[in-house]
Chains A and B, each alone.
Chain A
Amino acid sequence: MLQGIASRAEAAGQITPSREVITPSTGGPFAVALSDLKDALGRYPLWLHQGWVDVVHKYRRTRIGPLWHTISLAVFIVSMGTFYSVILKIDPVTYFRNVTVNLIVWTLISSAIIEGTGHFVAGQATALSMRFPYCAFTFALTWRGLLMFGHHLILFVVIAAATLLVPSQAMVLAVPALALVLLNCVWLSMVAGMACLRFRDLSPAIASGMQVLMFITPIFWPADMLGKRLAFLAELNPFYHLVIVLRDPLLGRIPETGDWLWAAGSAVVGWLVAFWIYGRYRDRFAYWY
């Protein structure tokens, strides 16, 4: 019967193979987090599918489908672009291009955080039914964020073409930059998710915080407007560097080393912090629902 079960499981292509599970989790925080990470990565069909269907179902009842999202973003950019390029006395063509790419990169990061605040709470049914690797929720969320970014990229391509942006070799750097930004999105979502699972009040607080950040970070206005004295507000803002590192390649520019270092550095520090918190409190998550 033993053999029968093992071979049946393999034949069935099960994604959760027979294994020993010990609760409470053994090992230090990093060991626990690593083990959950491996478990979550192993369940890739589940979160790849979940992220995809989340996007597909968003558009199911709409008439123009995904286009709706891109169009609403376009409307926002056109109105902002026209108005602010006049107020800030910047060349409209440049401004349009910059605002578009700044905004779509910012949206990727800020939605990782804002939607991250709720994604652990939303997984209650799953979390209380099995020993689920919570970071799989985060992977599904990040995948969904990437798909939405893809939507918006279409808009950028349209505007780039309209503003006659010349393609250059630097654009290839967008790929590693995107990987770096996504890496950061994962830990940001995870920390937001864990914190808001425990302290539900944090959700609206974080949402407000992100709104403020959107205006403090040079997204709708160029960083050099800060001048020498206040330049540190941008320099010491990790989100600024994260945005720059992806948006520069998209505009055909090579990001400065400083930006790469900030982005990589936030990823390393962020992951260490997220891992530690995750591993330390993983066994408590279910009790927080």
Chain B
Amino acid sequence: MVSIKVEQAWVEFPIRMSRNGRVRHAESSTGGRIDVARSMVGALQDISLDLREGDRLGLIGHNGAGKSTLLRLLAGAYAPTRGRVVSIGRISTLFTSTPGLNADATGRENVKTCGLYLGMGLTEIDRKMDAIADFAELGDYIDQPVRIYSAGMLMRLGFAIATAIDPEILLLDEGLATGDAQFARKAEQRMHELIGRSPILVVASHSMSLLSTICTSCVQLDHGRIVEAGTPNEVAQRYQESVVAKAVLNDADALARAHAVATDLAKRGQPVPPALEEQSLRWALQINIDDVVMLERYCYLLRNQDKPVPAEWELRTAIARLRVSPEQAESLTPHIIALASDMANDLPRDVKSMVEELR
């Protein structure tokens, strides 16, 4: 009868006020909500959840929305400042840090220590020791101090230990690193096996498509509150829309997330909505403004959505195309000059200098 029930829980941290009584950075695109009157920041506000056996909940949201904090609340690490959490079942958590890891201990010894912290008993660890060692593919290194391991070896060991547990409630924080590509395939399978034998799963991730594959329901967090809940597909849809909406308003974090979501969809072979791709390109173009492929794709997307293409972007695209294909100079140069003179005083400086070069 494994279950977790969260009843109107709040997690609030005290914050320091600056000397003149004003809190710095009260407005932020990330982080929880700041309550200046009580000098607290609400990392989580009024969270209610009811999870039963078989539930696989996905948490999605912007950076600092409270996903990790919610996981820690579920784990019992943070006691809610208001409301309460009732959990029945053995909780195992796989967060980015591995409790019990000791650099001077051998791999084998670390399996024992970390295993104990993860809730395994001594008999269980003994039983699984060989399987863990085999999976981590460390060979004789398992009996060497962990100090001498490479980063990849350390990751493989940590992953092997973490996925050997038999949890009743599994809490996963995104980015359980899996090492190199070859190991990643084995790791994904083992991950799915672990998830398969956990009656309740809560996983936080930036990857909506990952959550769609493994979760039965999803919840979107925004500044510490649950703003969307439902099936993964429903939440994914609305999450994308919220990301695009914020990105249009030039929210830096939202732009980056748009790019992450779009790339993630593309990686999994799913179609990327034009609005999302447009925002993701806006972010990418911030980094590399002269890339002709991206520029042309951007203009194409705008036209596709029946949106006007700003003259500046047309100009940049044309100049970039000219750079790459000088043989088209005859047709492109007059076009560029015409656009430039239309824009006249509104030309950004770098574009101006590029146009001057051409004349």
Contact = CB atoms under 8 A, between A and B. Distances in A.
Interface stretch (B83-91, B209-217, B293-301, B347-355): B83-91
B155 interface: no
A50 B87 contact: no
Given A24-B84, A49-B116, A9 B77 contact: no
B199 to A, nearest CB: 7
A12 B123 contact: yes
Given A12-B166, A18-B2, A129 B120 contact: no
B179 interface: no
B160 interface: no
Interface string A1-45: 110010011001111111111111100000000000000000001
Interface in A128-153: 128-132
A283 interface: yes
A287 interface: yes
A130 B76 contact: yes
- Chain B interface size, under 10 / 10 to 19 / 20 to 34 / 35 or more: 35 or more
A126 B99 CA distance: 5
B80 A128 contact: no
Nearest to B121: A13
A14 B121 contact: yes
A24 B78 CA distance: 8
B77 A128 contact: yes
Contacts of B222: none
A22 B86 contact: yes
Nearest to A8: B166
Nearest to B11: A287
B55 interface: no
B93 A53 contact: no
A143 B78 CA distance: 28
A89 interface: no
Interface stretch (B100-108, B182-190, B234-242, B319-327): B100-108
Contacts of B156: none
A57 interface: yes
Interface string A246-289: 00000000000000000000000000000000000001101100
A16 B90 contact: yes
A50 B86 CA distance: 30
A228 interface: no
Contacts of A23: 73, 76, 78-80, 84-85
A45 B127 CA distance: 16
Contacts of A206: none
Interface string B95-128: 1011110101100010011001101111110010
A14 B127 CA distance: 12
B281 to A, nearest CB: 38
Given A53-B105, A57-B102, A14 B90 contact: yes
Interface string A53-73: 100010011000000000000
A61 B112 CA distance: 20
B1 A15 contact: no
A125 interface: yes
Interface string B148-176: 00000000000000000010100000000
Contact of B124 (A12, A126, A130): A12
A180 B141 CA distance: 44
A79 B177 CA distance: 53
B137 interface: no
A131 B120 contact: no
B75 interface: yes
A127 interface: yes
A21 B79 contact: no
Nearest to B98: A125
Nearest to B99: A126
Given A45-B121, A131-B75, A131-B76, A18 B93 contact: no
Q: Which of A14, A20, A126 has the most CB of B within 10 A?
A: A14
Contacts of B112: 49
A207 interface: no
B274 interface: no
B121 A18 contact: no
A46 interface: yes
A199 to B, nearest CB: 14
B64 interface: no
A287 B13 contact: yes
Nearest to A5: B168
Nearest to B72: A128
A13 B124 contact: yes
B116 A45 contact: yes
A257 to B, nearest CB: 43
B35 interface: no
B113 A49 contact: yes
A127 B77 CA distance: 6
Nearest to A287: B13
Contacts of B117: 46, 126, 129
Contacts of A21: 76, 86-88, 91
B53 interface: yes
Q: Which of B72, B79, B97, B199 has the most CB of A within 10 A?
A: B79
23 contacts: A5-B168, A13-B121, A13-B124, A14-B119, A14-B120, A14-B166, A16-B90, A18-B2, A18-B89, A19-B88, A21-B88, A22-B84, A22-B87, A46-B116, A46-B117, A53-B102, A53-B109, A125-B99, A128-B72, A129-B93, A129-B99, A130-B75, A286-B78
Given A12-B121, A50-B100, A129-B95, 12 more contacts: A12-B123, A13-B123, A15-B122, A21-B91, A22-B84, A22-B86, A22-B87, A24-B84, A128-B95, A129-B75, A287-B14, A287-B78
Interface of A: 1-2, 5, 8-9, 12-25, 45-46, 49-50, 53, 57, 60-61, 125-132, 283-284, 286-287
Q: Which 7 A-B pairs give the minimum distances between C-beta atoms? A: A131-B76, A13-B121, A283-B79, A13-B123, A126-B99, A24-B79, A57-B104
